[in-house]
Structure 1
Amino acid sequence: MNNTDFLPPLHSQFRYRIDIVGNEKTPILVIDNFLHEAEALLGFAVKFGDFRDGTDFYPGIQSNVPEFYSQALQTYLPDIICEAFNLTRENIHYSQSTYSLVLTPPARLALPQSRPHVDTIHKEKLACVHYLCTPDKGGTSFYRHRATGFEQLSPERMDVYGEHLAREALDTSWHKKYINGSNKYYEEIGRYEANFNRLIMYPSDILHSASIPENFQFRPNPIVGRLTLNSFIYLTEKSD
């Protein structure tokens, strides 16, 4: 499974679409039936996974991925990525992936984990979530901050956004909860179910969050937990 010479084929029913969400018209790439026999990726996580506490506020544990996975992303997806996000192949630099399992119960959430977030406030990467679980485990949602109207964050927006976050943090009614749809501070502008072998890709500066249902069972077993393959596609600057 770690042999970089091995490259799984695309699923015979591979299909994709490009959605546009929100007032800021952010493209979301949705791929259904990505790889043939994606169950092997689940098997790799069970047999070879070395799960440890997640990084960057990820509410769970993460692990290494088979070496061929990045090769699959970089072999099959560049043309579609260019179409969806108005890029050229020269803009696509490299990818980095990890298995992820949500495990942190609501009572242990840090404040930033209870609201939508961005992965960066710059334009240097795209984020991918490849679901290796079923829809009942919760998908991914995108949001608009009600007070500012922001759907994407940038360095220029952070002063204003930060002022609102400080005020909203005083309201403890939304603390220690996973956001799962609109609340008084954020409006959901798009939602994608965690269909097995579905991959979604989006700019890393859009506000988003995993949609964790209230009855979610926090299980560390990849077979029954919310297993995803999370990736970043790193970009170079667009040429003029």
Structure 2
Amino acid sequence: MNLDESILSIAPNVSIQCGQAGLEGEPYIQVDNFIEGAERLKAYAVEHGAFAPADSYYPGIRAAVPLIYTVALAKNLSGYISRYFGFHPRHVKKAVSTFSIVTQAPESLSLYQRLPHFDAPSRLSLAAIHYLGADEGGGTALYRHRNTGFEYVDAERYQPYMAAIHQQFADPQGYPPGYIHGDTDAFTQIHAFAARFNRLVLYRGSSLHSGVLPQDYSFDPDPATGRLTVTTFIEFSGT
């Protein structure tokens, strides 16, 4: 099967919620019942997804998603992206989407895989997560770094934030093992999005965030039964 615009059209029963998180008021968009053909998009991942270990800090496997999906996402939400983030689709510089499944065992994580992270130290980027797995708990959370008070890391904050992290975790064993879940001594959870089938959440790529896994997470690598998501990163050239 191939992806086509008909299954990527926004669903007639879509529900869109916009809000702000934390003390710094970072905007986010939560979209329920996002696209009409969510089941067919999942079937595409099952049938065509060439999953392989990620070549980044992502703790799992990934497969390419056709560009038509990313274009449809930006088109479907263009008005909201413009209003709440100040970006126009014609200013897109780079955009990529991938099917993603968390599969890495907690005890094998590096320090930076255990910490909340940012996708890019830029205010000109957006990140989106589209949930296509079963509603098995978990989701995505946004965080504040306690020592700096930062809820996002941009170019100006990058050096002081990384210096603070290096100093704070000179001994990586000083940070709790496994995947982060809620507050820690170093980070405060400021907002959480629960995983729901065909729910999409959108926030700035500079926001500190992390996936939330349920305590009984199975680490199932099968896109038909595992924690399948589509992760999207969009970089803009300006507003």
- Deviation, structure 1 residue 71: 3.0
Structure 2 gap segments, 5+ residues each: none
Other-structure match for 2:216: 215
* Alignment of structure 1 residues 200-239 onto 2, 5 Å: 200-238=201-239
TM-score of the aligned structures, taking structure 1 as reference length:
0.92
- Deviation, structure 1 residue 67: 4.5
Count of equivalent residues? 238
- Whichever residue aligns with residue 184 of structure 2, its letter is N
* Root-mean-square deviation (Å): 1.8
Q: Distance in 1 between matches of 2:3 and 2:129?
A: 23
* Aligned residues of 1:54 and 1:60 also touching (Cα < 8 A): yes
SS in 2 for 1:136: coil
- Report which stretch shifted further, 68-77 or 25-34: 68-77
* Aligned residues of 1:91 and 1:235 also touching (Cα < 8 A): yes
Other-structure match for 2:74: 74
- Deviation, structure 1 residue 219: 0.6
Other-structure match for 1:50: 50
Q: Distance in 2 between matches of 1:139 and 1:3?
A: 26
Q: Distance in 1 between matches of 2:120 and 2:87?
A: 18
Q: Percent identity?
A: 34
- Whichever residue aligns with residue 92 of structure 1, its letter is V
SS in 1 for 2:136: helix
Q: Distance in 2 between matches of 1:107 and 1:99?
A: 24
* Aligned residues of 2:144 and 2:151 also touching (Cα < 8 A): yes
* Alignment of structure 1 residues 1-240 onto 2, 5 Å: 1-2=1-2, 8-169=8-169, 170=171, 172-238=173-239
SS in 2 for 1:70: helix
- Deviation, structure 1 residue 81: 0.9
TM-score of the aligned structures, taking structure 2 as reference length:
0.92
SS in 2 for 1:176: coil
Deviation readout 1:131-190 (Å, 9 max, x if unpaired): 002342420000000011000112322332223212332262534310011111000000
SS in 1 for 2:213: coil
- Whichever residue aligns with residue 188 of structure 2, its letter is E
Structure 1 gap segments, 5+ residues each: none
Deviation readout 1:9-68 (Å, 9 max, x if unpaired): 321211211110011110011111001131111111111110011132010000022443
* Aligned residues of 1:133 and 1:196 also touching (Cα < 8 A): yes
* Aligned residues of 2:61 and 2:102 also touching (Cα < 8 A): yes
Q: Distance in 2 between matches of 1:158 and 1:230?
A: 23
